[in-house]
Amino acid sequence: MPHFKFEYSRALGKCLLHLKADYILEKTIQETKYYFISNTVLSNEFNILWGKLNVRSESIHRDIYLLFEQVCSLSFILIDESDKVHLFSDPLGFHPLFFGFAFDRFICSDDQLRVIKELNFRTHLSEKSVVSYLHNGHLIADQSWFKDVNRMKAASHYILNKQSFELTHDYYWTWSEINKIYENANIEEYIDSFGSCFEQLNNNLNYILGLSGGLESRWIASCGKNLENFSTYTFAESGTQDLLLAQKVANRLSLRHTHINIGSQHISDRLNSFIQMQAMVHLGHIHEGNLLDDFVSKYDVLLHGFYGGYEFHNNLNSKVNFNIASSLFDIGDEISYSESYFDFNCIDPFISNYKVRNQAAFTLHRLNDLTKVILPFYNMRWISVNYSIDDNLQKNKKFYMEALNKSMSRELCNVPWQKTGIPIKYIQLNSFILKFKIHSIREKILNYFGKTSHFINYAKYGVELDSMLSDYSAKQFCSENNMRLESREQKWRVLSILVWKDFLSKNEN
């Protein structure tokens, strides 16, 4: 992770910011210091808006949002005035910002353990967080691993008053600012707004894209194909359908492609990455271990399909409520669905807030320490257009596939989609397969014959998984917590908790 630490000490009467210099864009206006923190490529429009940013402006919340609208990556903004400190999280809260208080010190960092240790707290896991992890496979909402550490909310403006030492919170943007359009969705605007992310790219940098058999990376490859220094890679086991489809896409676009073979990877090879991400992503999801580190760091910019491919669920055009929230997650008393941030006729923002920012986003945060990262699907201009469209049109990816067929070449649309095995030019057939979950049945049949449509055969880890669970005394843990290991997913969750607890115990001091 690109660890940073911001500290305000009332005793010293000053702020301290520790971070790699490459990640900071800063300026000073009348002794007020402004910091934009991210490791990405910024557009000329961003630089113009940044130059105009003034915390005393009456439109500061709108100005902050317009800045983030120009950034397709993880980021945050810090402003240090004489009497207060302002912290602005990114619109979807993907950049982790954990904070804590102790006596006259306030510390904020992307590293939960750093907050704990700097404030001399004990590294005891929160029981609520452990339960969330076991029941959901990840933490939820704004949880951290430790009861004395909090996480900043998405799209938020926090103000630390240096005199009173009080921290206040407000949203600078909420989903209600997107207007739902229930007819006449503009497919050209949908395509153009996605392509806007690529306008800031230049040919002086070397770009690498993680390419799979899915649709998101295929669209990115299509949009970026004219970059002079553009390569692709796929991490997968040899001979998998995911790899073969990725190679086919790269060939049709005449792009360089590298296969990173993860066939010989063991669960033990994942432990270092797992600890670096502080167990926020469980061991079952860390497929490549550290294999990507040296490879990706050779390139100036990593393009990634993160935040593409989300699903529109059964509760179409609906605001999240208790029944919907509890059907999606085991939420306990951590629920916050009624906050103004979720005041929108779609449940995807709630899913993003409760799951994506607590799981997949940490993989991107780790990659961001290796090179600059651009996330074309985390483009607020495109997201605003995407979520303005009637959920009924989005269901089973029908509108999405229509846009891809209009945006990409016929050769790319003729390449089968890994999920269904069918070229996306057959929109109705693909939607039918998704609607009736035929792709899930297909995967089970392939698994029966020892095959998979994915980039990895998950079943092969069964023996090692059971062995590690035994080594970490999983049977005793399950007995103490009145639970049974009835599925592979549950085994991954329990093993992850036990490995994390073991690490904390050995590194408490």
Q: Given the DSSP bridges, would you call strands 207-210 and 230-236 parallel, antiparallel or unpaired?
A: parallel
SS3 at position 153 = coil
Q: How confident is the model at residue 200 (pLDDT cuts 50, 70, 90)?
A: confident
Q: What is the pLDDT of residue 311?
A: 67
Task: Tell me how far apart the terminal alpha carbons of the chain are, to the nearest angstrom.
Answer: 21
Q: What is the pLDDT of residue 442?
A: 86
> Which tokens sit at 167?
């921290």
Closest CA to 159 of 104, 108, 96: 108
Q: What is the pLDDT of residue 14?
A: 85
The answer, yes or no, to whether residue 333 has pLDDT greater than 90, is: no
Q: How many CA atoms does the CB half-sphere of 400 hold within 13 Å?
A: 24
Q: Residue 102's beta-bridge partner residues?
A: 105
Return the H-helix or E-strand segment holding 6. strand 5-9
| 126: DSSP letter | P
> Which tokens sit at 174?
């909420």
Mean pLDDT of 110-129: 93
Q: Residue 169's beta-bridge partner residues?
A: 158
Return the H-helix or E-strand segment holding 364. helix 360-367
Return the H-helix or E-strand segment holding 361. helix 360-367
Measuring CA to CA, how many Å separate 505 from each of 115, 255, 501, 508? 17, 47, 6, 5
d(CA 116, CA 503): 15
d(CA 302, CA 143): 29
Q: How confident is the model at residue 1 (pLDDT cuts 50, 70, 90)?
A: very low
At 351, which amino acid appears? I
Question: Who contacts 225 (Cβ-Cβ below 8 Å, separation ≥6)?
Answer: 253, 254, 255
Q: How confident is the model at residue 406 (pLDDT cuts 50, 70, 90)?
A: very high
Q: What is the pLDDT of residue 223?
A: 97
Q: What is the pLDDT of residue 212?
A: 96
163-200: b (≥16 Cβ within 10 Å) or e: eeeebeeebbbbbeebeeeeeebebeebbebbbbbbeb
SS3 at position 448 = helix
Mean pLDDT of 301-323: 86
> Long-range contact list for 9-17, CB < 8 A, 24+ apart?
9/104, 9/105, 10/104, 10/105, 10/162, 10/165, 11/104, 13/162, 15/80, 15/85, 17/78
Q: How big is the CA angle at 237 (ends 443 and 469), to the nearest 5 degrees?
A: 80
Q: Cα-atom radius of gyration of the chain, to the nearest Å?
A: 23
Closest CA to 236 of 273, 284, 274, 287: 287
- pLDDT tens digits along 49-92: 999 999 999 999 999 999 999 999 999 999 999 999 999 999 99
SS3 at position 38 = coil
At 497, which amino acid appears? I
| 169: DSSP letter | E
Q: Given the DSSP bridges, would you call strands 156-161 and 167-171 parallel, antiparallel or unpaired?
A: antiparallel
Yes or no: say if 189 and 203 are a contact pair by the CB < 8 Å rule: no
Mean pLDDT of 23-32: 92
| 77: DSSP letter | E
d(CA 307, CA 361): 9
Q: Given the DSSP bridges, would you call strands 84-89 and 156-161 parallel, antiparallel or unpaired?
A: antiparallel
The answer, yes or no, to whether residue 319 has pLDDT greater than 60, is: yes
> Which tokens sit at 234?
């796929």
> Other CB atoms closer than 10 Å to residue 98's CB: what's the count?
23
User: How far does CA 289 lie from the centroid of its chain?
Assistant: 17
> Other CB atoms closer than 10 Å to residue 313's CB: what's the count?
16
Q: What mean pLDDT, rounded, does the chain reach?
A: 93
Q: What is the pLDDT of residue 2?
A: 45
| 416: DSSP letter | B
Q: What ranges in 89-136 are assigned the alpha helix state H?
A: 112-118, 127-136
Q: How many CA atoms does the CB half-sphere of 201 hold within 13 Å?
A: 28
Q: Give pTM, 2 decimals.
A: 0.96
d(CA 169, CA 152): 9
Q: Which domains does the chain possess?
A: 5-136+148-173 (3.60.20.10), 177-448 (3.40.50.620), 462-506 (no CATH)
Yes or no: say if 100 and 165 are a contact pair by the CB < 8 Å rule: no
> Which tokens sit at 139?
């933490």
SS3 at position 460 = helix
The answer, yes or no, to whether residue 292 has pLDDT greater than 50, is: yes
Q: How many CA atoms does the CB half-sphere of 252 hold within 13 Å?
A: 19
d(CA 116, CA 121): 5
Closest CA to 216 of 242, 178, 240: 242
Q: What is the pLDDT of residue 5?
A: 92
- pLDDT tens digits along 232-290: 999 999 999 999 999 999 999 999 999 999 988 999 999 999 999 999 999 999 988 88
Q: How many CA atoms does the CB half-sphere of 448 hold within 13 Å?
A: 6
> Which tokens sit at 344?
């929108």
The answer, yes or no, to whether residue 307 has pLDDT greater than 60, is: yes
Q: What is the pLDDT of residue 156?
A: 98
- pLDDT tens digits along 452-477: 888 888 888 999 999 999 999 999 99
